[in-house]
A = this chain, B = another copy of it.
């Protein structure tokens, strides 16, 4: 298996370095955080400064994984273009369109985007865990022009980390996560602020609905800002959808007093999530040598399916029956 060079050793990069090592791959990492570098070295992992790590990647034709926050992606990509322009490249950041554009603009490397849908509230190398990705969805982008062989390699890394792979386009990924990750963070922030406006009495009466609805408002603001601001265009669409629906509820409450349309649409939406998770599936195979392989992978992801195994010629998984 190809060696892996991880750039950025925070929660996700550090977990990936551990999981890739556990899968039997040769791995090394680099980080601008002296604390994370020292902690990783103490745990027995090879680390180096960015230049040395990338030169080693070039020497060994390693897969480079971008695991830095979005604002740091461009300078790192420029450095990769300079020191390791032939290495295959993937990333684990929360937005896929802007990263793909940055890579296309600044580096000649073959690239496939990735996004493991896993996390926890703690951060840094010390919060990492080789098992972090177990059972999680890991998006691997399959846009037109993607090299199916590299797609297969990145998918294999994700599977070896314990995740299942959801193939999709960068744009469809960004639209979906705006709705199921970034909008939830914004609404949690709005709800938490509205509750706080109710003063100590409101806090004393807060029970399950408020506690659950504001949980992710406790996430470190820098992480939320990086995610949400990095997905500006798709998040604007999702926020407009939410504003329209909340405004309609406001109008109905003020005029007829009736909230049935809002409440039943929400109930149906939540039932859809539960139904998705309980839905029977059927097995699917995508022939990666086929001309339509990338479109087939995107169709699979768009239908709610997943890939759970790959071999040299094909990807195997399941989709809702």
Complex Cα gap A274–B121 (Å): 15
Contacts of A277 in B (CB 8 A): 203
In the complex with contacts A221-B267, A243-B246, A207-B194 CB distance below 8 A: no
Within 8 Å by CB of A228, from B175, B211, B259, B305, lies B259
Contacts of A235 in B (CB 8 A): 253
Within 8 Å by CB of A199, from B184, B266, B267, B302, lies B302
Contacts of A186 in B (CB 8 A): 246, 249, 259, 262-263
* Stretch of A44-52, A151-159, A212-220 that contacts chain B: A212-220
Contacts of A179 in B (CB 8 A): 194-195, 197-198, 202, 210
**Size class of A's contact patch?**
35 or more
Residue of B nearest to A219 (CB): B267
- The A254-313 residues at the B interface (CB cut-off 8 A) are 254, 257-260, 262-274, 276-277, 301-306
The 4 closest A-B CB pairs, nearest first, are: A189-B266, A200-B304, A192-B269, A196-B269
Q: List 30 A-B contacts (CB under 8 A).
A: A117-B207, A176-B198, A179-B197, A184-B209, A184-B213, A186-B263, A188-B213, A189-B266, A189-B267, A191-B242, A191-B266, A192-B267, A192-B268, A192-B270, A193-B262, A195-B269, A196-B265, A196-B269, A199-B302, A203-B304, A204-B276, A213-B216, A217-B270, A219-B267, A221-B260, A221-B267, A225-B259, A229-B259, A240-B250, A242-B246
Assess whether B303 is in contact with A192, with CB atoms less than 8 Å apart: no
Contacts of A194 in B (CB 8 A): 179, 183, 238, 241-242, 245, 269
A223 to chain B, nearest CB (A): 10
Assess whether A216 is in contact with B208, with CB atoms less than 8 Å apart: yes
Assess whether B185 is in contact with A198, with CB atoms less than 8 Å apart: no
In the complex with contacts A184-B209, A209-B185, A269-B217 CB distance below 8 A: yes
Complex Cα gap A161–B74 (Å): 61
Contacts of A168 in B (CB 8 A): 201
